[in-house]
Structure 1
Amino acid sequence: MHGKILRWDPGAIDKLPSCLRIVIQSIVETMEDIEREMKPRGRSSSVQDTVEEIKIMGRAYAEISKWARAGHVPTFDDYIELGLDSSGIRCFAMYSFISMEDCEENQTNAWFKSKPKMLRALSVIFRLTNDIAGFEEEMRRGEVVNGVNCYVKQHNVTKELAVREIKKMIRDNYKIMMEEFLTIKSVPRPILVRCFNIVRLVNLYYEEGDNFTNPNGKLKDLITSLFFHPLPL
């Protein structure tokens, strides 16, 4: 799968299993549609940067899947770098910047490519919060490559202690997010607000369990209320 993503070759999609074909076809067609819309507006480089981030995410998933198939539990230090890429946060952020025509594209893209601490902190928050929320279910499915499990192995501690230490990391990265939000001057404020809003989604997804993976409870109700039963204006 990740090879098809890395080549960004629509012609190779037909060779994939049907379940993967739907995913890759949707990704490619969506990005092509966005590029057609953005190119006349002079914002096509943001689209290409988003595609590159999708490739990075695909590569990370491929490496993690190799560990999973082998039943290999890497150290937390080895896991976290790939885990940040597989979180998809950089991809999500770049995707959200594409249509922000009130922000200068080259300036935004240069900041993004500098790998700012704000985006790394956001990736850490999402990745580790997801790992804590999904730990029990992933272990039941035999998916051993999880941040909590990797921390347990590397430091030879209990799950409870691992979760406590990982939550400290999450809190530290919230502090980094806040500091960066208040001090960064190199990009327009709306870009920083967009990043800050992404972290609010993390709270929504994982405030009560893993609503991202299992959206049929609170998350479904919120989406329904927003799109099907909105408050009258």
Structure 2
Amino acid sequence: MDDIYDAYGTLEELQLLTNAVQRLDAHYINQLPEYMKSFYKPLLDFYEEMKEAMIKQRKSYRVKYAKDTFKQVSESYFVEAKWYNENYIPTMEEYMRNAVVSFAYIMATIASFVGMGDFVTPEIFNWASNNPKIIYASSIVGRLMDDVASHKFEQERGHCASAVECYMREHAVSEEEACSELKKQVENSWKDINQELIFSEISKVVPGPVLTQILNFTRVIDFLYKTGDGITHVGKKTKDGITSLLIDPISVSY
């Protein structure tokens, strides 16, 4: 979904889709072009199924958090589409303010909480939705690793400027220098994550399984982007890693 504006049409049509996503209501489906309905209808069905499952567990409030973060991602995609259409290169600050949302780490994390146990209270959803330090740092890790790994391919096929292009322009440095600096920022964000997990008071108010979920998402990102874009270009390393984890796991004897 990060490249939704590559798949769909004009900026005006994307604006229609963004507005429809802000409501997530079947009444708006007829306002969309025919080819967009194939995306919007399954999206509505997905959230409706989620809602029905949570109603049975008396946890329907969780679906609102999942929807709200998806709407934020939709808005951030439209911003990127607008930049792309206008050939606009934002400052790093402007880019990152939008990019930590468009990477969809917050959305994926909140969605993963929906099916978890009773220890994930409304307070936890509210905490996570407000982009606390550990989630913000994880979003930085994901966004910058993604940009460094995939910016060349994305620029060739048509994409808004990534952190690499924004940093190069703002600081008048080479691509190599920009990537080196962005990798340092990834390292610093990992330090923030470790600081939060080990030394902060967060573990006294946030359940361990919630923090582990956040950490594991970030580990997945690190695995997928460490040696390239393992999502767009799925290679042997990605396949072998998934196989060893899910298909042929190593048994551990105690």
Which one of 45, 52, 55 corresponds to residue 68 of structure 2? 52
Aligned partners of 2:18 and 2:75 also within 8 Å = yes
Q: Is 1:75 the counterpart of 2:94 in the alignment?
A: no
Q: Distance in 1 between matches of 2:167 and 2:250?
A: 48
The count of residues paired between Structure 1 and Structure 2 equals 232
Q: CA deviation at 1:216?
A: 5.1
> For residue 192 of structure 1, what is the aligned residue in structure 2?
211
The structure-2 alpha-carbon separation of the partners of 1:142 and 1:114, relative to structure 1 and needing over 3 Å to count, comes to: closer
Aligned letter for 2:230?
N
Amino acid of the structure 2 residue aligned with 1:100: M
Partner of 1:162: 178
Question: In the alignment, what sits opposite 2:223?
Answer: 204
Note closer, same or farther for the CA distance 1:114–1:70 as it changes in structure 2 (3 Å cut): closer
Match of 1:215 in 2: 234
Give yes or no for contact 2:99–2:143 (8 Å, CA) kept in 1.
yes
Of the structure 1 ranges 34-43 and 192-201, higher mean CA displacement relative to structure 2 is found in 34-43
Evaluate the alpha carbon distance shift between residue 218 and residue 27 of structure 1 in structure 2; reply closer, same or farther with a 3 A threshold.
Answer: farther
Shift of 1:40: 1.9
- The residue number in structure 2 matching 1:178 is 194
Question: Which amino acid letter does the alignment assign opposite residue 212 of structure 2?
Answer: V
Does the CA-based 8 Å contact 1:111-1:186 persist in structure 2? no
Give the Cα separation in 1 of the matches to 2:186 and 2:92. Answer: 15
2:12 is matched with which residue? none
Matched, 1:124 2:140: yes
**Structure 1 residue 218, shift from structure 2 partner:** 3.3
Task: Give the fraction of aligned pairs with identical amino acids, expressed as a percent.
Answer: 28
In the alignment, structure 2 segments of 5+ residues that lack a partner are: 1-16
Deviation at 1:110, TM superposition (A): 3.0
Matches within 5 A, 1:28-39: 28-39=44-55
SS class of match (1:73): coil
Distance in 2 (CA, whole Å) between partners of 1:175 and 1:223 is 26
> Structure 2: how far apart are the matches of 1:104 and 1:72?
41
Residues 139-173 of structure 1 show CA distances to partners (whole Å, capped at 9, x for unaligned) of 21232421100111111111111111111111111
List per-residue Cα deviations over 1:100-119 (Å, max 9, x = no partner).
Answer: 11414223123224431001
* Change in 2 beyond 3 A, CA 1:159/1:56: same
| Partner AA of 1:61 in structure 2 | Y
Structure 1 residues 85-125: Cα deviation after superposition (integer angstroms, max 9, x where no partner): 10101100100111111414223123224431001001111
Distance 2:237 2:35 in 1: 27
- Aligned-residue Cα RMSD (Å) equals 2.0
Counterpart residue identity of residue 152, structure 2: E
Contact 1:57 1:85 in 2 (8 A): yes
Correspondent of 1:147 among 152, 160, 163: 163
Change in CA separation of 1:38 and 1:144 when aligned onto 2, cut-off 3 Å: closer
Is 2:145–2:226's contact at 8 Å kept on the other side of the alignment? no
Q: Which amino acid is the alignment partner of residue 231 of structure 2?
A: F
Partner of 2:28 in structure 1?
Answer: 12
1:137 matched to 2:153: yes
Say whether the 8 Å CA contact 1:43–1:105 is kept in structure 2: no
The residue type equivalent to 2:219 in the other structure is R
Match of residue 116 from structure 2: 100
Q: Which moved more, 1:78-87 or 1:216-225?
A: 216-225
